[in-house]
Each structure stands twice: as structure tokens, then as C-alpha cells.
A and B are shown apart, each in its own frame.
Chain A
Amino acid sequence: MSGPKKITITAAAVFLCAAITSILLLRELDRVRTGATLQEFLYISSPKMLKRLSLGYEGLLADVYWTRAVQYYGGLHHIGGGRYELLWPLLNITTRLDPHIIPAYEYGATFLSAKPPNGAGVPQKAIQLMEYGISQNPDDWHLYYDLGYIYNDVKDYRGAADAFERGSRVPNAHPHLKILAAQMAQHGGELQTAQMLWSSVYETTHDKNIRENALWHLRAVKVGLEVTELEQLVRTYRQKTGHLPQSFRDMARAGLLRGVPVDPVGNEYQLDAAGNVFIGDPEHFPFVEKGLPPGYVPSSIPKIPHTQ
């Protein structure tokens, strides 16, 4: 074998062996450095500083940080969860570098709000992230939608209703947002708001089913409002007479009512000895939340009236 040929074969063999070894070593290096890179990335935690350091390539840097956030969450989730301490700083930096990176808000907020071990369990941070996303992308209704669900998870129905309602005003927003806003307002006891929102749904939708659904909810809201008003009148009666009324007829005789009040389907309201007001047949109002008799268990198939 000639000299140059021998060198070529040797160099080729060395090249192949070294290349394979370098790949194997790189895999080992990755194992040694698990988590280290993220910690290093967060030594500079100021998004402003990072923006300056990126020399105008903050979009690319945001993508890098978003990838890191996904890998961090995925890595911890894969091994059964953890404290996800670095998730918020990573998402904060990502969205400050590129405020229009919508998936970072949508998925990031989900990762943040989910309870451990599936998430960081910090819904307030998730809300903060979504509010920042909305402030930067006010025309994206998905963000309001996600924010509403986060509020719903923490049982802040007023916040949820507000988020859905704001989202429903965005051009081209999904019509379902208006329904969700109304549902949340109703659930949160904001009956006036719920009535206004359900009326809006009823008047604007062209879908027969949605329209009918809005009607059932409007009836339920009406019942809620009437029960509240009747209970207020019971309190007024007590103040006037010093005792609770035995029936609605007592209240009518006292000039507080014109007769026995009836619910939207024509059944008489009920009054118990403690002054609580109930609806006569709750089966007619599957969405009602106020005025249900104590211990009432709704049947699986409610009676839905087809006429108002």
C-alpha cells in the first residue's frame, strides 16, 4: 500500500472513530449537565438586559427561552413532577422578549396554574402572565378565553365572567365567550350582569339551540332575582310586624305583594317557617342556583319547557 493511501485510510478511520466517540461523549455531557443550562440562563434574569444583549435578535432569543421552558416543564413532568421553580422566570423572560408569542401565554399559563404534580400550582402567576399577554395582544380572543378558565379553576367567577366578557367584545371572537361570561356571572351571583349577558346572547345568536339555552338561563336568572327580591320583602315584613310571615298571603295582606308570586312557568313560590323562599318545581329550572329546596337532587333528565 502506498504512503498517501495508507494515510488516507488511517485518517478516515480516525475520523469515523473520533466522530462516533464525540457523539457518545456529547450524550454523556448532556446527562452531566441536566438542569445546569437553565440555571445558567437565569443568571441574567432581567428581560431588559437580555433584550439589549440580544443585539436586536430578541425574537430568536424568545424562541430559545420558550423551548427551554417547554423542555423544563416536559422534563420535570416526565419524571413525575416537581416544584417547577424556574417556569415563571422562563415564561416571563420569553414573553417580555417577544410579547406576541401566543403559545407561551396559552400553554405557559396552563403549566403555571395546574396543581402539582401536573403544574406549578401558582394560578396568580398564570393570571399575571395572561393579563400581560392580553395587554400586548388585545385582539386575540383565545387569551381572554384561557384567562377565564384560570379564574374559573380558582373559583373566582366574577373574574372569569369579566375575562370572558372582555373577550366576547374582541372582533371575530367565538360567540361561545358571551355564553361563558353569562354562565360565570350567574354562577358568581352577579345576576344583573348575567341577565344582561344572557339577553345579549339570546338577541344576537342565530343558532336555535344556543337561543333556547339562553332562554333557560334567563329563566333561571329571573328566578334568582325574584327569590332575592322576595327574601328582601320577607325581611321587610319582619321589621314591620316583628315576626316572620306564615305565607305569601300574609305579605299580600300587609301590602307588600299583590298576590301569591309565581315563577316563570306559573308555579307558586314556596315560603318556609324560617322565611326562606323556594321554587315550586325545580325540575323546570335546570340552571337555577338560588331558591332550590334544601336537599334537592336534580333528576338526570330535567323538564325543559318549550314555551316561556
Chain B
Amino acid sequence: MNSRILHIATNTFREAVRDRVLYNLIAFALLLTGAAVLVGQVSIDIEHLVVINLGLTAVSLFGLVIAIFIGIGLVSKEIEKRTLYTVLSRPVRRWEFIAGKFFGLSGTLVVNTFFMAIGVFAAMWYVSHPLHTADASVLVALYFIVLQFVIITALALFFSSFSSPLLSAVFTFSLFVIGTFAEDLRGFAMLTHGITRWLATGAAYVVPNFSALNVINQVAHGEGVARRLVVYNTAYAFVYTVTVIAGATLIFERRSLK
């Protein structure tokens, strides 16, 4: 990563911290602490399951909200405040600006998820200590959640490069929902015929596939995650993100900022 991208990324991270984004950790900690105490008292034999399900779902939802609501303002906010002109008047290329913003927000989400992960493991330990080897698969689920955040950040940035913040939020959230049902979308496509089939299949491959990245239930039931899945998911998230960032770059390069 060149120094210009690194500087923009660092500033994006600092800005997020200044905007008190990490305050969500307090809400998360309160939620998990409350749940851990409550679950220990009211559930029979599924405390561990509930804490993993609740913890990982909370990590996913908190991160999703942050990724969308910060991601959609990454470009438009800079244009609104006119700080973008200051940045671009220096020897910074537009694609470097996009890349820097992407890495900055992704970094924020990684840090955020790191602290949340500590919270999840603390709650797991509280309801059923000691932890078991199988609990290590929770780390894989957390890793997949981070991969989801990376894709969502790229999508939010993509929409932010040409659309208003409100529409960007709608588009990104819609793609998240559709992507969650991506495998079903491909299933529906297989049931159709002719041109409808081609169109539906095409759409199913264009939307991000979040269903493969969701292994929360699997790990909550103590099942391991196949190594091949980790490898393919990593590769897929990387390639899909590159596609979206390249798209955002293409649009932003040609956008008139006057």
C-alpha cells in the first residue's frame, strides 16, 4: 500500500473514532452481559448456544450498521464539506482516495470486531467455562463476518461514489438482504426456463453471496467449518471486493466534481 493510501486510511479511521463510532462497543457489552446473566438463569442446557448465536448476530448487525452508515458518507461527506477538493488538489489520485477510504473503514470495522470478539468469548466463558476446542470455530465465524463487512463497505463506497447518502444506504442494505438469500435466488433461477432463467441466474451471480459467509448456526452447534470453505470464502470476498472497488474507481474517475 502506498503512503498516500495509508494516510487517507489512517485519517478515515481517526475520523470514525472521533465520530464516536466505537461507542457502539458499550451497547454491545451491555447487551452481551445482560444476555449472559439472563440466559444463565432462564435457559436449560442451551446457554452456550444462545450466547454464541446472540453474540455473533450482534457482532454482525452492529458492524453492518456501521459499515453502511459510515460507508455511504465516505465520498459524499467529503464533497459536502469540500475537503475532497483539498485532498485531490494534492498529488493524490482519485483511485487512491477510494482505496484509502475503503481500507480506513475496513480497519475501523476490524478493530471494532476484535473488541466485540473479546466480549463474545468472555460471555461464552461466563455461561459455560472452561471453553472447548470446538469453540475455536467461533473465530472462523467472526472471520467470515469481517469478510461480510469488507464486502458491504466496498458496496457502500461504490454507491457513495455516484449516489446520494440516502439512496446509497437503501441500495447497500437491499443488496445485503438479497445477498443473504443469494443461494435461494440461484435456486429460484434453476426453476425457471428460457431467458428468465438466464436473467435470474445472471442476477444471482452479480449480487454478493452472503449466505456462504454465514456459519453462525453451524458453529453454535459445535460443528467445524471446512478448510476449503474458508479458502474459497476468503478468495471470493477478496475478488468480489476488488470488483466493486474497481467499479467505484471507474465511476469516480469519470465523475465531474465541479
Contact = CB atoms under 8 A, between A and B. Distances in A.
B211 A21 contact: no
Given A22-B243, A68-B187, A29 B95 contact: no
A25 B250 contact: no
Contact of A29 (B184, B190, B212, B254): B212
B239 to A, nearest CB: 4
A23 interface: yes
Contacts of A68: 184, 187
A37 B211 CA distance: 8
Given A11-B95, A18-B243, A32-B228, A25 B191 contact: no
Contact of A33 (B212, B220, B221): B212
A67 B239 contact: no
A29 B250 CA distance: 28
B253 A26 contact: no
A39 B221 CA distance: 11
B188 interface: yes
Contacts of A14: 242-243, 246
B186 A30 contact: yes
Nearest to B190: A71
A32 B247 CA distance: 28
B174 interface: no
B253 A7 contact: yes
Interface residues of A, number: 31
A19 interface: yes
A26 B205 contact: yes
Contact of A15 (B183, B214, B235, B243): B243
Contacts of B236: 22, 25-26, 29
A28 interface: yes
A191 B250 CA distance: 81
B11 interface: no
Interface in A2-29: 3-4, 7-8, 11-12, 14-15, 18-19, 21-23, 25-26, 28-29
A7 B217 contact: no
Interface string B218-255: 10110000101100110110011011001101100110
A43 B217 contact: yes
A67 B184 contact: yes
A18 B187 contact: no
Contacts of A8: 250, 253-254
A25 B232 contact: yes
Contacts of A64: 181, 184
Contact of B247 (A15, A26, A44): A15
- Nearest first, the 4 A-B pairs at minimum CB distance are A15-B246, A18-B243, A43-B217, A18-B242
Given A18-B242, A22-B205, A29-B236, 18 more contacts: A8-B250, A8-B253, A11-B246, A15-B243, A15-B247, A18-B246, A22-B243, A26-B205, A29-B229, A30-B186, A32-B229, A33-B183, A37-B183, A37-B211, A40-B215, A43-B218, A64-B181, A71-B187
27 contacts: A4-B253, A8-B250, A11-B250, A14-B243, A15-B246, A15-B250, A18-B246, A22-B236, A22-B239, A22-B240, A29-B209, A29-B236, A32-B226, A32-B228, A32-B229, A32-B232, A33-B229, A36-B218, A40-B215, A40-B218, A43-B217, A43-B221, A44-B217, A64-B181, A67-B188, A68-B187, A71-B190
Interface of B: 93-95, 181, 183-184, 186-188, 190-191, 205, 209, 211-212, 214-215, 217-218, 220-221, 226, 228-229, 232-233, 235-236, 239-240, 242-243, 246-247, 249-250, 253-254
